[in-house]
Amino acid sequence: MPDVTLTAEQAAVYQAIEDTRDHVFVTGRAGTGKSTLLTHLNWNTKKQIVICAPTGVAALNVGGQTIHSLFRLPIGVIADHAIDQNDAVRKILNAMDTLVVDEVSMVNADLMDAMDRSLRQARQRRHEPFGGAQVVLFGDPYQLAPVPGDVEERRYFADTYSSMWFFDAKVWDEADLRIFELGEVHRQHDDTFKHMLNAVRHGQVTAEIAGVLNATGARRPLPEQGAITLATTNSTVNRINHTQLHRLPGQSLANEAEVTGDFGGRSFPADERLELKVGAQVMFLRNDTMVRGDGPRWVNGTIGTVTSMRGELRVAVDGEEHEVDPVTWEKYRYSWDPVAKKLERDIVAEFTQFPLRLAWAVTIHKSQGASYDSAIVDLGPRVFSPGQTYVALSRLTSLDGLYLARPLRPSDIIVDRNVERFMSGAARAIGAEAAAE
């Protein structure tokens, strides 16, 4: 069981989930501990919970299933098409008390309504939202958006919904959603930097804030070592990592991952073939499992340098060398145990690899959830999705560690108007609930 200690704020949200049947949305700025709270819920709830997420990697990270796998839903728009359910799916959906959805901001309105219809159908409670199950959502719409489909799918959403976002699903016309916004930021400790990041998050960057960010990040030489580049595209990241690896002397060694079971495609949590050299800059993809008295040796996002590959893999972090062993990611699938009368999480696939990735560069999207003391933010020719700049800047633990490949422009700060509409309404709802208490 992970050693998780909740803050008073997180504990209050946990009790609201655990002690009621209310539908709950847990949101908050980057670094406020949403993942910590979800982990605590997973290990400590007395309810029969099922955890799911919109992508394979997101599901692996929270020990759950993908939404499409759990509900056996087809890919693409589901609309009013019939939903086929076998006996196994019906038993799982009937047995759960609470459905937990992580990274819900990537879930579109059609998929949210399909989950509602599936639960009503399986539980034979067609007039009750989600068939009477409690739904708990985690995510931040200011960071990740649903992925638009093809032209026909976009037309469907334009004709059917106010927006693609999960919060505009029709089920919310019938169901109340309690919203909790975690406010205590744990990643950054400087109030001025927190204020700047919040301004980026809400699209309220003044000339003064932009001036400070640019003066700090864009008017000094970029570091040659020790900083990771956060870029907008895979092509930029692959080019940087490939170039830097081949600049190093010596021969590279590759480790092939061990994959067992059905991963359902290639949604692996790390490189299937990890190529390294001594001197390579790497990023850890998992928290250290051997926590010492003074804390973990590394966490997800820690940057290190490969120092030895003879017999064992050694990586230096902050001047201290550590032996790194392969770790195993487990893919789960839920099933119903008729004897014990409870839901079980069965391991259906395993992926074993060193928990490392080449880290001269990483995409902003894949940096989600990581923290960096120092990073180069490379926004390329233009920022092309809402929240991208906020995600990149909010990975930094302090303003001093920020380097910009080019100065920020007003066009880099993009906030989706639908998110502004929903979150402003959420703020009013949170305020009204606090006043009532």
Q: Which residues contact 123 (CB under 8 A, 6 or more apart)?
A: 93, 94, 131, 132, 133
The SS3 assignment for 374 reads: coil
Percent of the chain with pLDDT over 90: 71
Say how far apart CA 193 and CA 196 lie, in whole Å: 5
Say how far apart CA 339 and CA 332 lie, in whole Å: 20
Say how far apart CA 35 and CA 200 lie, in whole Å: 22
Token pair listed for 244: 């830097």
In the structure, what pLDDT confidence band is assigned to residue 144 with cuts at 50, 70 and 90? confident
What is the per-residue pLDDT across 171-203, written as a single tens digit (0 to 9) for each? Answer: 999 999 999 999 998 888 999 999 999 999 999
- Bridge partner list, 277: none
Q: Which residues contact 313 (CB under 8 A, 6 or more apart)?
A: 276, 306, 323, 324, 325, 354
- Domains defined along the chain, listed by start: 8-186 (3.40.50.300), 191-327+354-412 (no CATH)
Average pLDDT over every residue of 127-147 = 94
With contact defined as beta carbons under 8 Å apart, do 392 and 368 qualify?
no
Say how far apart CA 395 and CA 380 lie, in whole Å: 18
Q: What's the length of the chain? A: 437
What is the per-residue pLDDT across 360-414, written as a single tens digit (0 to 9) for each? Answer: 999 998 888 788 999 999 999 988 889 999 999 999 999 999 999 999 999 999 9
What is the per-residue pLDDT across 31-87, written as a single tens digit (0 to 9) for each? Answer: 899 999 999 999 999 999 999 999 888 888 888 999 999 999 988 899 888 899 999
Most confident residue range from 119-123, 267-271, 315-319: 119-123
Average pLDDT over every residue of 241-252 = 94
Percent of the chain with pLDDT over 70: 95
